Every structure is written in C-alpha cells, then in structure tokens.
Structure 1
Amino acid sequence: MPFPQITSRPPSSVDALRRLIGLRWLSLAGMSTVLISVPWLLDIPLPAPPLFKILLALTAFNVVSLLRARQLADEIRGIELFIQLCVDLTAWSTFLYFTGGATNPLISLLLPLVAIGAAILSGPYAWALAALAVAAYSILWDFNEQLDIYDSGLAVHWHLAGMWLTFALSAGVIVWYVVRMSAVIRSRDQALAEAREARLRNARIVALGNLAAGAAHELGTPLGTMAIVAGELARNPQLDDNTRADAELLREQIAHCKAILGGLTLRAGSLRAEGGQTLPADAWLKGITERWRSLRPRVPLATRIDCGHPAPNLVADATLEQAIHNLINNAADACPQGVECEARIDAEQLVVAVLDRGPGMPAKLQTGHTALDSTGEGLGIGLLLAFGAVERCGGGIAFAPRPGGGTLATLTLPLSALSP
C-alpha cells in the first residue's frame, strides 16, 4: 500500500536558487538607489559609468538565472549555488571599490551573503564563501577609489548614518531568509513525520494481512465441521420449528464465513475485486449492503442510494468494499436497533454516509490511526483497515456527532481513483 500523498514539499536547491534571484533584484534596487540618491541628497559625486556597467552586468546575469530557474525540474548541484553567491559577492565588492571601499558603510552588506551561504550551501562551500568575503573586505581596505567629500564632519555623520542603515538592512535580510528557511525545514520535518506514521500504519496492516492469511488457513477445518453439524441439526425431525430455523440461519452464516475465507486467496494482492469488470456505482453499493444484510439479518439497515441516472461506472476495489462494510458493521455494533446508509455523487466524488443512534464514537478512534483496540469491544482493526484502504485511493473518512445523538461517518472517494 503506497503512502498518502504529502502536500508539503521539502526544501530544494531550485527553491534556494529562486530565492537568490529574488534577493538579487533587491540588491539591484539598492545599488540603483545609491547611484541616484547619493549625488542628489549628499552632494557626493559617484563614478557613474563603471557603476552603471556593474548594474547592467548583474541585471543580465539575473535574467539568465531566472530563465534557467523556470526550466529546471530537477535538483541543481551545490557548486551552482556557490557560483551564484560568488557573483553577488563580486558585484558588491566591485561596487564598493568605486565608492570608497571599506570606508563605505555598505560594506556590511557582504555579511548577509555569508549568512545565506551558510544556510543553503554545504560546509566546504559555506566556508569558502566566508573566506572570499573576508578576503574581499581586506582587499577593499587598501585598494579602492576614495570619494570626494568636501566636509569631513558631515562625512563622519553620514558614515554613521549609513552604518546604521546597512546594519538594519543586513539584520532584516538575514532574519527574513532564516525565517523562510526555518519554515520550510519545519514543513519538511512534518512531512517526514507523516510519512513515518503512514509507514508504521502500513506495516501494521501488512502484519494483519499475514495474520488473516494464517487464520483463513486454520479456520477452514472447524468451519467445515460446524457446517456439517448445523446441517444435521437442521434436518433433525425432533427439533421444533424455531430451533430448526435457528439451525438453518447458523448454516447460512457458516457458508458465508467459508465464502469469505475462500475469497481471501483470490483477493490477496488484488486491488480490484472484479478483475477489471466495471459496475455502475449504485449496483456496486447495493451489492455491498445486500451482502451485509445477509450477514446480520437481525439489524435493520435503511439505504438511500442516489448516484444519478445513469450512475457512473467504476471498477470496484475489494478493500474499499470491506471499508464500507466495516463502517456499517461498527454502526450496527453501536446501535443494534437499526442504522442508515446514504450514498450520492457530489463534485466528482462518491460520498457514502453511515448514520446510527448509538452512544457516539470515542475520540481516540475517530482518526483510525491509533493502536489497535484490545478490549474486545471492536472498532480498532476495522477502522485501521478502512482508513488505510480509503487513503490509498486518495479519499478520506470523517466522523461527526449526529444531531439528536449518535454518529455520522462520511466516506469520500474521488471517482477518478475508481474509474475503469
């Protein structure tokens, strides 16, 4: 039985590349803002030609990276992410070279690149990026083109203001990226936990299948003996009519048990009981309810089946048939006075509702994923098997209190999973 589909996806290198592209657009916006606003607001001339070349080159590289990211379907190697960050580091280092080098407060913007590299790169690449950032800072300390600032006091003031601004920007970028990565990692951990739970549940179901096969083999002989004894009792002329009717009912139930055990071998490993034969949805459901009535004739079962005219054809699944049977059986155990079963087609889904007026269902059993019940009261194994069969087909089972008392069990199945 395959695992249920996991909606949350673990973090991938392609996702990391897309985030780097988004951050690079922010870097380009920041460089453009500095190039336009500094000469106008601070009256500090900047070498526009080389800075425009840096902007154009980085923009072209980001466009190429964006086109590549849209075409990627598989994971990319860590070396490519490392190269992406090295390009950002080179662009900012060159930009800082023409704008004062290490004396430019924007030098602190190299730190977010190192933090991002530590989050998405493997250890060797992350350390290499950190070493390159330190080397760039050291080189810019001695090799740079100083800006012409006419007022040294004003220069110190704006330098301190720039340091505050770059610190705030660096802190914001680091927190934003780390929070995003942490959320993705938590989502991945949750997906792994769900997959692990599904694997354990499937292992229990496989173990139950092995036990069922052994039980089918061992029960054949005592059931045959019981059938012979029940037949002799039914033919005994000394019995009164009521006792003879009970003996006939007993013989019929034993025959049903033998038929079920005989079908286990045919159904083992088979997902579709009819071997490819299609049935209308209403005929399939009526067959399930009629077989259930033959097994428990003393519990009234009211059915309302409306699957449209004509009803859609489906290839029935033996495990799904057993799941519906288990839901009706559990309702009958809770309310022997009578149960109801309703079925309909709703938005490309087959919806089967089982209603009873019993005491209600224990909350711990409403998920069907708990440990098997060992109290002898039932509701454990049947629900586990029902949930496993329905989830394998992409459906679900939900329980809710019924107005006026009792339980409403709703089983939903996508018609696409049952289509021939």
Structure 2
Amino acid sequence: MHTSLPTPANPADALRRLIHLRWLSIAAMLGVVVLVPWLLDLSLPGRALLQIPAALIAINLLSLARARRLDEHRPTELFLQLAVDLGAWSVFLYFTGGATNPLISLLLPIVAIGAATLSPPFAWALASLAVAAYSILWDFNEQLDIYDSGLAVHWHLAGMWLTFAVSAGVIVWYIVRMTAAIRSRDQALAEAREARLRSERIVALGNLAAGAAHELGTPLGTMAIVAGELARNPALDDDTRADAELLREQIGHCKAILGNLTLRAGSLRAEGGETLAADVWVSGIIERWRRLRPHVALTVQCDCGPSAPQLIADTTLEQAIHNLINNGADASPDGLACEIAVEAEHLRVRVLDRGPGMPDPPLPAAPAPESPGKGLGIGLLLAFGAVERCGGRIRFSDRPGGGTIATLTLPLSALRP
C-alpha cells in the first residue's frame, strides 16, 4: 500500500511568519551592539556589526512587499530566506567570538523552523549548513578581549541562559502558530468532505426522485379519476363528497409537483426564478404550503421593512423553507408560527413549533436522512444543502415553554438579481 508523506506547511504562510521572526533577530542584534559594550565593558566592531541588521532590514522590507503581492511562494524561496538568516547570524557571530559566543545557540531555532516548514531535502540541507557554520566558527572568528576571566564565565553562563530562553520561546511560538494553521486547514478539509458526501446523497436522492416521479404518474391519475367520481356521486352524503373533493385537490397538487420536478431539478438559479420582493416571495411559499396542509394552523408575522428587498425566487430555497415549515407541522400538528424579517443584510425565517423540543443529543450541523415517519430526515437534508449552497445556515434551538425554533438565515447578497 502506498503511503504519502505529509505535505509541508503552506510556503506563503510560513514566509509571513518568518518575516515576523526576522524583526526579532534584527532587534536582538541591535540589542547586542548597544547593550554588551555598556554591560561588559567590551569593545565590539560596531561598524561591521551594524551592517548586518541593516542588510536584514532591507531584505525583510523587500520580502514583506513580495509577500503582500503574491499568495503563493515556492518552497525554494522559503529555504533561501532561512539560509539568509543563518548566514546573517553566522557573520554576526564571527565578529563576536564565534563558537565561544553563547548566542550561537540561536542557530537552533532556524533549523527547527526549517524542519517544521520545509520538505525533507531542504530541511536536511539547512541543518547541514547550520552544522557547517558552527564548525567553521569554531576555528575562524574574531575573539573578544575580556580581562576578568571570572566575570567572563559569569556572563557566558548568563548568555547561555538567555539564548536558551529566547530559543525556547521562538520555537514554541512558531510551532503553536503553525499547529493552529494546520488545525484550521484540517477543519476546512473535514467540512469540505462532509459537504461532498452530502452532495453525493442529494444526487442519489435526485435520481430516486426522478424514477419515483415517472412511476407515480399512473396511480395518481387513477386516484384522481376515482376521487372525482366519488365527489360527483349523489348517493353519498355531503361530508363524504367534500372529503372526496379535498382528496382530488390534494392529488392535483401532487401531480403539479411531479410535473415541475424535472424543470426545477435542472434549472439554473438565474433562469429558474423570477424577481420578487422578499415578503411576497416567502408569503407565496407559505400560501402554497397552506394549500397542501389546510388543517394545520400557521400564524405568520412578516417584518421586511417599508421597502422589502428584491430577490430571485430560487426554487431550491423555496423547497427548503417549505420543508422547515412541514417539519414543524409534523412536530406540532395543533399549530405553529412563522416569523420573517430582514436584519443586517440577511433574510431570516424562523419556524416556531410546540413539539417535543430538541432531541438528545442535539441535531448535527447537517443531519443524515432518517427512516420515514421520524421527521427531520430527507427534507431537512435537502434544506441544508440548498441553504449552504447560498452561503446561509440553519440552526435549531429550544423554544421557551416547550418546542423548537428552526432559524433559517440567508445572505441577501446571494439572492439579489
């Protein structure tokens, strides 16, 4: 079985983090040049040393401008940037005692960053450069003259402690930032995988629906004929004929839905809906639902402002709102409420029922279809798919006093013509 190596971190993000760390290196070099002569009464080649942070400042400004222009960077560029930092510290250490300078431990964070962000060949190459620099500085360096050997040992140990603390802080900061970026990427991948699986289920349901629409045409026609004959039969009492007429009307709605199924399934959003005011659009959905379930009381409250925004009547979103109301009616057949409002560039539809309330455990972000009769199954799955495609969301919460509140939120920017 083939096992792929883990992909290195994004070079663009790694370069931006490296630019921030380079400012810390520049500050550390300037601090050494300014503070060490005052603390240790040492004479440092200040002119030569100041040229190194000056060069790093110029390189960092150019890198910053490049990072803002480009979104993607090649891994080779990140390796070269780390090699520049390694070379700058090596030159700085050459003028300040070489391998005897405790600051030489600062080469280790550069190697650690390279190991965390570069591919294995580049990481090993950077480690080899660091070992080579350390070895060269062992014999080739400018020694510093310290007259008090006891003071020299004391400050050397203090320098070792300081470089250890700085190295540990830099490594932890960088690894924590990189780990957070990896977790964010993994979460995005998991969400994309869930969306793909959900889309596959919806496609499978669409194929089944097409076959069902074809097969249901004949029995629905037969039922319509029988219901019509019963409604016109004078031998039946008035209540029975009224029930037969209602049955014929509902069969007519079913045939109309099946007749529009093919047209709705294949139409594009821009072609499949007309432009309507938000309140008119949602009110039309509610009226069509009422014709299908006239025995369920539905209270509607609409607050779309004095001038409701114009929206494209997306048929898939119509079905999503229809399914939410239908699920609320299944849970609360004695009555439910629907609130429509436009708030902060969003269309918000709330369905409030007096059913059994939220299940335990709560509903996931996008539930899988359940068996018929349980509710919150295929219809809700389709609703989640349609709403998420437009950048919206569906959330469920407990209703005070018992029941559930289903809140559908849609961005107006995705619905405007």
Q: TM-score, normalised by structure 1?
A: 0.94
Give CA deviations for 1:263-282 in whole Å, capped at 9, x if unaligned: 10110122438735211112
1:237 corresponds to: 234
1:38 corresponds to: 36
Give the match's secondary structure for 1:340: strand
Instruction: Give the 3 Å change call, closer, same or farther, for CA 192–269 of structure 1 in structure 2.
Output: same
Equivalent of 1:332, from 329, 334, 345? 329
Would the aligned equivalents of 1:343 and 1:352 in 2 still touch at CA under 8 Å? Answer: yes
> In the comparison of the two structures, how many residue pairs are matched?
410
Give CA deviations for 1:290-338 in whole Å, capped at 9, x if unaligned: 1111111111222222322232211111111111111111111111111
Shift of residue 192 of structure 1? 1.0
1:57 corresponds to: 55
Give the match's secondary structure for 1:139: helix
1:303 corresponds to: 300
Structure 1: runs of 5+ lacking an equivalent = 1-9
Give the distance between the partners of 1:376 and 1:338, measured in 2 at CA.
19
* 1:261 alignment partner AA: L
Shift of residue 142 of structure 1? 0.7
Would the aligned equivalents of 1:271 and 1:319 in 2 still touch at CA under 8 Å? Answer: no
Would the aligned equivalents of 1:273 and 1:318 in 2 still touch at CA under 8 Å? Answer: no
Q: Does 1:358 align with 2:341?
A: no
Shift of residue 365 of structure 1? 6.3
Would the aligned equivalents of 1:149 and 1:155 in 2 still touch at CA under 8 Å? Answer: yes
Would the aligned equivalents of 2:367 and 2:380 in 1 still touch at CA under 8 Å? Answer: no
Structure 2: runs of 5+ lacking an equivalent = 1-7
Structure 1 residues 246-325: aligned runs within 5 Å: 246-272=243-269, 275-325=272-322
Give the distance between the partners of 1:395 and 1:385, measured in 2 at CA.
13
2:164 corresponds to: 167
* 2:396 alignment partner AA: F
Structure 1 residues 90-109: aligned runs within 5 Å: 90-109=87-106
Give CA deviations for 1:325-364 in whole Å, capped at 9, x if unaligned: 1111111111111121121211111111111222213245
Instruction: Give the 3 Å change call, closer, same or farther, for CA 265–127 of structure 1 in structure 2.
Output: same
2:194 corresponds to: 197
Structure 1 residues 396-407: aligned runs within 5 Å: 396-407=393-404
Q: TM-score, normalised by structure 2?
A: 0.95
Shift of residue 367 of structure 1? 3.3
Give the match's secondary structure for 2:269: coil
Give the distance between the partners of 1:352 and 1:275, measured in 2 at CA.
22
Would the aligned equivalents of 1:274 and 1:315 in 2 still touch at CA under 8 Å? Answer: no
Give the match's secondary structure for 1:268: helix
Larger relative contact order (CA 8 Å, sep ≥ 6): 1
Give the distance between the partners of 1:155 and 1:272, measured in 2 at CA.
77
Give the distance between the partners of 1:150 and 1:143, measured in 2 at CA.
21
* 2:86 alignment partner AA: L
Percent pairwise identity? 76
* 2:340 alignment partner AA: A
Give the distance between the partners of 1:30 and 1:141, measured in 2 at CA.
22
Would the aligned equivalents of 2:9 and 2:118 in 1 still touch at CA under 8 Å? Answer: no
- The CA RMSD measured in Å over matched residues stands at 1.6
Give CA deviations for 1:248-267 in whole Å, capped at 9, x if unaligned: 11110101000000010110
Q: Does 1:116 align with 2:113?
A: yes
1:4 corresponds to: none
